[in-house]
Structure 1
Amino acid sequence: MIASLALAPLAHADTAPPAGTPETVTADNLPTWQTNGIVWSLTQSGGTVYAGGNFDHIRPPGTADGDPSQLTRSNLAAFNVATGQPTGFDHAVTGTAYSSTTNPGPECDSVGTNEWLCQAIFRVKAAPDGSALYFGGDFTHVDGEPRSRLAGVSLSTGQLDPAMTPDINGRVRGIAVSATTVYIGGDFTQVDGQTRTRLAALDRATGALLPWAPAADDTVRTLALSSDGSRVIVGGDFPHLNGSNENAIGAVDASTGALTTWNSRPIQSPNGSQFSGVTELVVVGPTVFGGAHGEGGGVFDGRFAVDTNTGTTQWKDTCLGATTTIAVQGGIVYSGSHAHDCSSMGGWSQTNPATYQRLLAETADSGGASKNKLLHWFPSVNTGPADSYYKQGPWAMANDDTYLWVAGEFTKVGGVDQQGLTRFAPKSVAPDINPPEAPFAAPVATNASKTSLKVSWDATWDRDNTATTYQLFRDDGTTPIYTTTVNTNFWTLPTLSFTDTGLVTGSSHYYRVKVADPFNNKRSSPYGDAVTVKCPWFICL
């Protein structure tokens, strides 16, 4: 009996990684309540995840929009991190027309640059001590009370903050919260009638506008505080910050707003209509991790890590495809994007039509190497409804170091209906239960000699494991005649083969193959056509 196979790719981290490599969460999503619209932002505090966006109802997993058990939630909702169930947290955020269609109407056309969809809530952020939740976007009222694009809620009493009532003349996109201050960024140019060029700060206790007034010359999309609270790290589409060439990312003093040291430029400067912008920032210890989007070819739109104290770039990945969100957990950077070419990181090359992966994982620490490492974690989410304008799929992530929540405009996860929200966890919490991918075609047998058949089949792959084990069965046998384990992924699928010897000339045989991941989740191929053993013409001629 003779076996042969194509060279398999090198192993990558997954839910059963080699020693010294971080273990990803599984690609098998957990039961989670859904929304009936887009979730733009998530934040986690204690045992609760808060979701903000454009939706007016939430419903149980496995149910359709309009289900009798759905609950009314107006653009803001809260869920138990560990169970995916909703909490009693309920505040009506209104004033921006909600619609599930591509373009809700002309009232939204002037909101920001090239923004077709009014975003009732664009950003939610919990205070570091868990005492309050702040949220910003395009809304005008909360619980019937006037609130101009920014509001706060006490998480201990559930009451709307009566002091946080600034009058803001443009969208709030980014929020960072310290013990005393709420920092905001976005598209605005005035707060409470005073000039604030896309950045401002408010006193948490009184709601008063503070003198802090750095300026960005284009959209600010995201804010983060350094771990010591001394700096506000600013990300967005701007080429200048405080008049200095701090393209797309920079840092300002949390007290004065003055520029602070920033020793590198992870984002290249604009080149005509081609530019990159920063969409998300997450601080973990001394490092700020970021995601970028790009307009035009040849621009950076992956993930990066920067020292928060010096601004020195630690690593940049080189996958292509705009990044919308990131989360850092267990030494891994998880991201939402429309990655379509990761060949420079050992992944797949550009295809036509493009092959997209909407969720990725990579090592958070470069380990002293020139770049970090792409990991084997590829859950399946779609881009959203057929009439979706953005068609990006994931837009937000949050985590508590066990559960990884993902939100966006998607309507399917793992091929199953699931809208707006989903979550993942390590195999210790969410056992790896899904088998390798379909389709898994029937093996093909051909004559090898007058007493043998060569059986060949194309390998498949698993979304969260590189190792796949194949068992070959002859006829209706229940004991495999051959077993082999290879490493596979969706862009490198070897053809495997085995020569079944010692057969009787003139006998007929058919075969099937079973494939399993390291946790014995199996998928079986169909039976192949029966083939009669005979001497091949090129041998017996």
Structure 2
Amino acid sequence: MSGARKRLWKPLAVAAGSIAVVTVASVLATAWGDTSPKAGTPETVTADPLSTWQTDGIVWSLAQAGSTVFAGGNFDFVRPPGTTPGDYAQLSRSNLAAFDVATGKPTTFAHAVTGTAYVSKTNPGSECQTIGTDEYLCDAVFRAKTSPDGKALYIGGDFTHVDGQARSRLAGFDLTTGKLDAKMSALVNNRIRGIAVSATTVYIGGDFTTVNGQPRTRLAALDRATGALLPWAPTATDTVRALALSADGGRVIVGGDFAKLNGSNENSVGAVSATGTGALTQWNSRPVPAPSGSKYSGVTDLVVAGSTVYGGAHGEGGGVFDGRFAVDTNTGNTLWTDTCLGATTAIAVQGSVVYSGSHGHDCSSMGGWPQTNPSTYQRLVAETAGSGSKSTLLHWFPYVNYGPETSYYKQGPWALVADSNYLWVGGEFTRAGDADQQGLTRFATKSVAPDTNPPETPFAAATVGAVGSTALKVTWKATWDRDNADLTYQVFRDNGTTPIYTTTATSNFWTLPTLTFTDSGLAAGSSHYYRVKVSDPYHNTRSNPNSVTVPA
């Protein structure tokens, strides 16, 4: 689905005469975790986007400290929900902004992150990088990370200045004062993509080859207290996109496009010691397959929860791995990999649920939606954090589009962050749910924000046909709901307020069973009015009327 989302509303159609109907009983392999899940299945946030301020560009990264979410990216302003770019109420926020987690409103945290002006596509200069055929980035914040105590924020990317002060792709902020950290001013000679933060150290990864004039091959570390470059110097053979620190602080998990880490074949993800020079540590498996010719997969994001690191991957070329994986941080043993197709760009973990941003177009191997022509994309996905050797898709299908038609990427979500109540999503999208919403949106558990979205409108018209002279068979295609798998259907006759038939059916956007009800004992030739109502577990409803005359 691309562009603005359209409601699919078709009125129930009346068909005279007898019809042959087959009721489809679908076997659905997906675990139906939603806002009202079956026993033993984790509950997701709702699929209802909450009122949230927007950006006028792309959000590449999100980080959270306490009640504040920080967004880094390529944007100049933030504005209220429901407004268009240039709105009178917009606030200047240059590539970095902060928002209240619970209200979605901006805070007073405001720093101008800037870069060197673009020169040309053929000679972009050292401060810019051409992306694709028509985009360039000179001042982007690609990664934002907060310290474990929530008192500091660190950002990395392409920028050269913060608040007019020289900052070569790395900057830090004291969140107790809101001020720029004067000590974190290392000279990094190329883009930073990944950051991890411990109590004492800031670890960085990206495309750079020197820091403060000293050789550092895409990985480096700095002392948080002094800003000094540390001896930690593992090497990667290609871009490092993500870093994560193990819960005990002893290991740094490294993800990216590289084939080798410290000279060892690690295939896009591995682990090194968090101390010393960053020697390789135990990593017993290869969750991301090795390159095959021009086809390869790279790790885009890593999140640690307990003793598990969850990752997302993107692929170049057909038939590559671009789903999600879970690895034990202590051993490097792979716990599970999923097999959905469609590049994954962001990961967040909330309790027993792993959320991801992607452009998933084929999850049939996991009991999800199949490949279609044209492709059907689901850009936000939820699955179980896993037990044993598998993860299972959950019933959570909120809508965001891929972004403006002029975008080179057309990915949609690029960043996720979650706490126990909220899930924030950042990216290049311009619609979320049924509303225009650019760059940022958020979702919440039903304990914080009740599930209010009704089921989707039916995809196909219903029919009514005679069964003999005193009965009518009502047949309709089930609809589906974005955050509830089981929906209840009620059939009402004439002006009755009590349903004459009630049934519950499981459905999703790719599996819509056909449902029937036969109304018997009617007077021959009598005229009747029918209404079919569908509701989710929270009594959010849709209905369609129909009338028919029983043949004499």
Distance in 2 between residues matched to 1:247 and 1:440, nearest whole Å? 44
Give, in whole Å, the separation in 1 of the partners of 2:328 and 2:214: 33
- Structure 1 residue matching 2:142: 3-state secondary structure: strand
Name the structure 1 match of 2:94.
74
Structural mapping, 1:506-517, within 5 Å: 506-517=525-536
What do the CA deviations read for 1:85-130 (whole angstroms, capped 9, x no partner)?
Answer: 11110000011559xxxx9996389627758341610000111111
Q: Structure 1 unaligned segments of length 5 or more: list them.
A: 536-541
CA distance in 1 between counterparts of 2:315 and 2:24 reads: 37
Q: 1:106 and 1:384, CA in 2 relative to 1: closer, same or farther beyond 3 A?
A: farther
Q: How do 1:70-469 and structure 2 match up within 5 A?
A: 70-95=90-115, 107=124, 111=129, 114=132, 116-118=135-137, 120-255=140-275, 256-365=277-386, 367-368=387-388, 370-439=389-458, 441-469=460-488
Aligned to 1:539: none
Aligned twin of 2:47: 27
- The match for 2:18 is none
Which structure has more relative contact order (CA 8 Å, sep 6+)? It is: 2
Q: Distance in 2 between matches of 1:266 and 1:441?
A: 42
* One-letter code aligned to 1:229: G
TM-score (norm 2): 0.92
Q: Secondary structure at the match of 2:265?
A: coil
Deviation for aligned residue 1:462? 0.4
CA, structure 1 residues 451+5, in 2 after alignment: closer, same or farther (shift >3 Å)? same
Q: 1:199 to 1:59 in 2, by over 3 A?
A: same
Letter in 2 for 1:157: T
Aligned residue for 1:7? Answer: 25
2-side partners of 1:375 and 1:104: how far apart?
Answer: 43
Whether the 8 Å contact between 2:128 and 2:136 is mirrored in structure 1 is: no
1:523 equivalent to 2:546? Answer: no
CA distance in 2, matches of 1:195, 1:178: 23
Distance 2:151 2:206 in 1: 24
User: What residue number does 2:62 align with?
Assistant: 42
Q: CA deviation at 1:70?
A: 1.0
Query: Residue 209 of structure 1 aligns to which amino acid in structure 2?
Result: L
Tell me the CA shift for residue 506 of structure 1: 2.1
Displacement of 1:533: 2.1
In the TM superposition, residue 448 of structure 1 has moved relative to its aligned partner by 1.3
Q: Using the TM superposition, name which of 468-477 and 485-494 deviates more.
A: 468-477
Distance 1:127 1:345 in 2: 36
Asked whether the equivalents of residues 128 and 158 of structure 2 are also in contact (C-alpha less than 8 Å), the reply is no
Contact 2:56-2:77 at 8 Å conserved across structures:
yes
Q: Do 2:62 and 2:71's aligned partners in 1 also have CA atoms closer than 8 Å?
A: yes
2:551 maps to 534
Any idea what SS the aligned residue of 2:159 has?
Answer: coil
The alpha carbon displacement at 1:386 in A equals 1.5
Distance 1:97 1:287 in 2: 42
> Which range moved further: 89-98 or 400-409?
89-98
Distance 1:468 1:417 in 2: 28
1:442–1:512: 8 Å Cα contact kept in structure 2? Answer: no
Cα distance 1:523–1:419, how it changes in 2: closer, same or farther (>3 A)?
same
Kindly indicate whether the alpha-carbon contact (under 8 Å) linking 2:458 and 2:478 is maintained by their aligned counterparts in 1.
no
Supply the distance in 2 between the matched residues of 1:28 and 1:532 (Cα, whole angstroms): 40
Bigger shift: residues 64-73 or 259-268? 64-73
Paired with 2:440 and 2:122, the residues of 1 have a C-alpha distance of 26
Structure 2, gaps ≥5 residues long: 1-20
**Counterpart for residue 16 of structure 2:** none
Cα deviations across residues 511-539 of structure 1 (Å, max 9, x unaligned)? 331110010000112x33x443227xxxx
Question: Which AA in structure 1 matches 2:331?
Answer: T
> What's the CA shift for 1:481?
2.1
Q: Distance in 1 between matches of 2:407 and 2:429?
A: 9
Q: Is the 8 A contact 2:124 2:130 kept in 1?
A: no
User: Which amino acid is the alignment partner of residue 196 of structure 1?
Assistant: R
More divergent stretch after superposition (503-512 vs 255-264): 503-512
Q: Deviations over 1:28-78 (max 9, x none)?
A: 111111111110000001111000000111111112211111111000000
Deviation per residue, 1:228-280 (Å, 9 max, x gap): 11111100000001111011000111112111110000011001110011000
List structure 1 segments (4+ residues) > 6 angstroms apart after TM superposition. 103-106
CA deviation profile, 1:101-160 (whole Å, cap 9, x unmatched)? xx9996389627758341610000111111211101000110001111111111111111
Distance 2:531 2:27 in 1: 24
Note if contact 2:130-2:136 (Cα within 8 Å) is conserved in structure 1. no
Shift of 1:442: 4.5
Looking at structure 2, the residues matched to 210 and 279 of structure 1 have their Cα atoms a distance apart, in angstroms, of: 25
| Structure 1 counterpart of 2:425, one-letter code | V
Deviations 1:459-484 (A, max 9, x none): 00000001111111234443322111
Kept in 1: contact 2:159–2:169 (CA 8 A): yes
Q: For 1:416 and 1:231, how far apart are their aligned partners in 2?
A: 43
Confirm whether residue 483 of structure 1 aligns to residue 502 of structure 2.
yes
Does the aligned pair in 2 maintain the 1:9–1:488 contact within 8 Å? no
> CA separation in 2, counterparts of 1:38 and 1:433?
28
Q: Which residue of 1 aligns with 2:72?
A: 52
The 3-state SS of whatever aligns with 1:63 is coil
- Which amino acid in the other structure matches residue 478 of structure 1? T
Q: CA RMSD in A?
A: 1.9
Deviation at 1:162, TM superposition (A): 1.2
Q: CA 1:338–1:261 in structure 2 vs 1: closer, same or farther (change >3 Å)?
A: same
Residues 453, 499 of structure 1: 8 Å contact kept: yes
- Alpha-carbon offset, residue 4 of structure 1: 7.9
Find the aligned partners of 1:134 and 1:379 in 2 and give their Cα distance.
30
8 Å CA contact 2:170–2:184 kept in 1: the answer is: yes
Structure 2 residue matching 1:129: 3-state secondary structure: coil
SS of alignment partner, residue 449 of structure 1: coil
Give me the whole-angstrom Cα distance separating, in 2, the residues matched to 1:53 and 1:436.
Answer: 34
Alpha-carbon distance, 1:330 to partner: 1.7
Distance in 2 of aligned mates of 1:123 and 1:468: 40
Q: Which amino acid aligns with 1:422?
A: T
- Scaled by the length of structure 1, what TM-score is found? 0.94
